[in-house]
Amino acid sequence: MARKNQTLGEFIIENQKDFPYASGELSRLINSIRLAAKMVNHEVNKAGLVDITGAIGETNVQGEDQQKLDVLANETFINTMTNREIVCGIASEENDDFITIKGQKSDHRNNYVVLMDPLDGSSNIDVNVSVGTIFSIYRRVTPTGTPCTIDDFLQPGNLQVAAGYIIYGTSTMLVYTTGHGVNGFTLNPALGTYYLSHPNMKFPEDGNIYSVNEGNYIHFPQGIKDYIKYCQEEKEDRPYTSRYIGSLVSDIHRNMIKGGIYMYPSTSTSPNGKLRLLYECNPMAFIAEQAGGSASDGFRRILEIKPTELHERTPFICGSKNMVDKVESFMKKSNS
């Protein structure tokens, strides 16, 4: 039973029994992510005092400018999980290909793979706006004792065993699910300990916040344009409030607490969408559904999409269930 102010370590141990493969391996993995998040949080809080802000002068596999903190966060999470030998493979938005973890005995005995966006919204660091880390955990489908393969990573989101995000803001929070609801833990920086601050987090069924980059309005599908107009109508329960931070973690986190919808649809310039299915959309969709919300590409459930490549992109609509349903109705109507 979750108790407010329970430590994350206590919560993990207490809830191990809810997991069908309760060997302690997943618990050690969550603990490893917790440690890496504290290390990244320390670096984020130093931004502006030391030379870790700004672009590094290189681009990642997505063609995006890499920020110095992107690289630092990526290395921190990879090194922490590799050194503890608790995963058989890691895939990161910042790397071209997945990484195989052999283990000291080279026996490939570990059973989980992790996919992650090590620092979502990193371009906001220079202006002191919240950023985050997103992670997704799957149980391998290849035999234990063999090297992991691409098949271990290209699983639909409904097979995730855990997912979560860390938000580095006015306070640092780790929010995660193992398929038994969503819980949020706030870091006490004086003690270096996460405490349960947001037990059993839930999306309100309805909301009055819509989060979308309206600067791209002219490029949006007609259904999204129609929904935005709907949000702006003068009605008894509208207009809705427009709030857009430009950091997926921050926007989803706010909307889960207050009720709202996040949209990053396809555009005429990015017909397949821009967000990554495996590193961003699947983990956020898993969290949203576990919190009573919904996630869609505008026509189908995100968690049912079978990925075909590591860095696959997709349109993404996520938030309060009734709001997502409304967007889907506008999309279907405009497509008919």
Give CA–CA dist 203/138, Å, rounded. 24
Instruction: Supply 174's token pair.
Output: 């780790």
Picking from 37, 33, 38, 179, the residue whose alpha carbon sits closest to that of residue 114 is 33
111 is in an annotated binding site: no
244 is in an annotated binding site: yes
188 is in an annotated binding site: no
32 is in an annotated binding site: no
248 is in an annotated binding site: no
Return the number of other C-beta atoms located less than 10 Å from residue 217's C-beta: 12
93 is in an annotated binding site: yes
Q: Answer whether 275's CB lies under 8 Å from 316's CB.
A: yes
What are 331-336's contacts with CB under 8 Å, separation 24+? 331/221, 331/223, 331/224, 331/298, 331/299, 332/223, 332/299, 333/223, 333/226, 334/221, 334/222, 334/223, 334/226, 335/223, 335/299
213 is in an annotated binding site: yes
Starting from the edge strand earliest in sequence, which strands make up the sheet with 131-139, in order? 99-100, 89-92, 112-120, 131-139, 160-168, 172-177, 183-188, 193-198
Give CA–CA dist 7/312, Å, rounded. 36
280 is in an annotated binding site: yes
Return the number of other C-beta atoms located less than 10 Å from residue 45's C-beta: 12
Picking from 277, 275, 291, 278, the residue whose alpha carbon sits closest to that of residue 324 is 291
Question: Helices 282-290 and 248-258, interaxial angle, to 10°?
Answer: 10
The answer, yes or no, to whether the previous bond of 239 is cis (omega within 30 of 0) is yes
Picking from 264, 260, 144, the residue whose alpha carbon sits closest to that of residue 210 is 260
Q: Answer whether 221's CB lies under 8 Å from 266's CB.
A: yes
Q: Answer whether 262's CB lies under 8 Å from 316's CB.
A: yes
217 is in an annotated binding site: no
Using the CB atoms, write b or e for 129-142: b if 16+ within 10 Å.
ebbbbbbbbbbbeb
- Report the binding-site residues: 93, 117, 119-123, 213, 244, 274, 280
- Report the binding-site residues for substrate: 120-123, 213, 244, 274
- Report the binding-site residues for Mg(2+): 93, 117, 119-120, 280
